[in-house]
């Protein structure tokens, strides 16, 4: 689970790492059990490589740098990806920036949320 005490550090790390790879991060946010990232990935980087590397490097950062010795953090297997056009970008960014409010009010964008979160 992503604890609020280190959530912002995790998100900042993910943004910095994505920037190193030439990505443009438009938004990062989530809840205790998942993160949404709205990102433009350069054509030289596959989506699968981006996800694998962002998950691997961020869990390493959390476990070895941010909180060494704490219970190990691991991402779940799998991920979802949506391709957005410029007209959908602002809506996706607004949705991700307001993740906690959407979940608190049970107003999730069903296409973007894990199935088990939709029924809570």
pLDDT, tens digit, for every residue of 13-43?
A: 999 999 999 999 999 999 888 899 999 999 9
Nearest Cα to Cα of residue 62 among 49, 51, 71: 71
Distance CA 56, CA 62 (A): 10
- pLDDT of 114 reads 56
Based on its alpha-carbon atoms, the radius of gyration of the chain, rounded to whole angstroms, reads: 14
- CATH number of the domain within which 46 lies: 3.30.70
Mean pLDDT of 36-65: 97
For helices 4-20 and 47-60, what crossing angle results, to 10°? 130
Residue % of the chain over a pLDDT of 90: 72
- pLDDT of 33 reads 86
Mean pLDDT of 81-93: 92
6 burial class (0-12, 13-18, 19+ CB within 10 angstroms)? middle
Domain of 87, in residue numbers: 4-118
Mean pLDDT of 93-118: 69
Please state the domain count of the chain: 1
């Amino acid at each position: 689970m992503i604890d609020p005490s280190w959530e912002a550090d995790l998100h900042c790390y993910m943004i910095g790492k994505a920037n190193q790879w030439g990505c443009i991060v438009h938004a990062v946010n989530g809840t205790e059990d998942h993160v949404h990232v709205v990102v433009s990935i350069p054509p030289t980087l596959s989506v699968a490589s981006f996800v694998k590397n962002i998950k691997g490097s961020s869990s390493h950062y959390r476990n070895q740098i941010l909180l060494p010795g704490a219970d190990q953090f691991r991402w779940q297997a799998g991920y979802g990806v949506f391709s957005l056009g410029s007209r959908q970008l602002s809506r996706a960014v607004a949705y991700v920036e307001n993740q906690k409010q959407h979940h608190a009010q049970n107003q999730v964008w069903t296409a973007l949320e894990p199935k088990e979160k939709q029924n809570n």
